[in-house]
A = this chain, B = another copy of it.
Amino acid sequence: MNAPASHLDALIDALRRLPGVGVKSAQRMAYHLLQHDRASAQRLASALQAAAEHVQHCRRCHGLSETPLCGICADPERDARQLCVVEGPADLAALERTGSYRGLYFVLKGRLSPLDGVGARDIGATELLERAADGQVQEVILATSFTAEGEATAHVLAQALKARGLQVTRLARGVPAGSELEYVDLSTIAHALVDRR
């Protein structure tokens, strides 16, 4: 590529680290921000820094929160006997949008990916076992994705949770196989939640 200045290169590299962004998109974004919309570049930089500074992990569910305990974990109306395990904050948000679940959550750091060296400890399985053993949780609902890796993650977690005497369920197979939970329509998710097995 013809002589791009070094700060421009660094920006393109940083944009490429965003999920779903290839080199072409990253170039397009960088050119757009610098050629046409510098105010947005500054705004994005500030938003990133403020979010990195203020958005923490909830100490109970490990989801994103600006307070030590997130709004869901702090809500006394939520049913502390149910703990729904998701792969990340986007899946938690999708489940909440269905309005069908009144229990609590545990947010993993993604899913098992043995080929990439991502094991149970990396995704927070230890913290999940600790959380689920609080004496209040009776049922753990595994809501990992219905992909090969999501299923393997559910299987491994189910084994460990059952060994500790917990009831373990899985979202019903209403969720289309091979799909990422956050892109599934709400009624399908709601249905799968009712039919959990």
Residues of chain B with a CB closer than 8 A to A71's CB: 2-3
A88 nearest CB across to chain B (Å) = 6
Interface size class of A (residues with CB under 8 A): 35 or more
Q: Does A115 contact B (CB under 8 A)?
A: no
A39 nearest CB across to chain B (Å) = 9
A113 nearest CB across to chain B (Å) = 12
Q: Does A96 contact B (CB under 8 A)?
A: yes
A43 with B20: CB separation less than 8 A: no
Minimal Cβ-Cβ distance residue in B for A21: B29
Q: In the bound complex, how far is the Cα of B14 from the Cα of A37, in angstroms?
A: 12
B31 with A88: CB separation less than 8 A: yes
Count chain B CB atoms within 10 A of each CB in A1, A15, A45 and give the residue with the most: A45
A48 with B97: CB separation less than 8 A: no
Digit string of A3-16 for contact with B (CB within 8 Å is 1, else 0)?
Answer: 11111101101110
- Chain A, 35-72, CB within 8 A of any chain B CB: 35-38, 40-55, 57, 63-66, 71-72
Copies of this chain in the oligomer: 2
Q: Does A33 contact B (CB under 8 A)?
A: yes
Residues of chain B with a CB closer than 8 A to A11's CB: 47-48, 50-51, 55
Q: Does A107 contact B (CB under 8 A)?
A: yes
Residues of chain B with a CB closer than 8 A to A110's CB: 36
B44 with A8: CB separation less than 8 A: no
Residues of chain B with a CB closer than 8 A to A89's CB: 31, 34-35
Q: Decide: A28 near B107, CB < 8 A? Known: A44-B15, A45-B45, A52-B38.
A: no
A105 nearest CB across to chain B (Å) = 10
Q: Does A142 contact B (CB under 8 A)?
A: no
A37 nearest CB across to chain B (Å) = 7
Residues of chain A having any CB pair with chain B under 8 Å: 1-8, 10-11, 13-15, 17-20, 24-25, 27-38, 40-55, 57, 63-66, 71-72, 88-90, 92-93, 96-97, 107, 109-110, 182-183
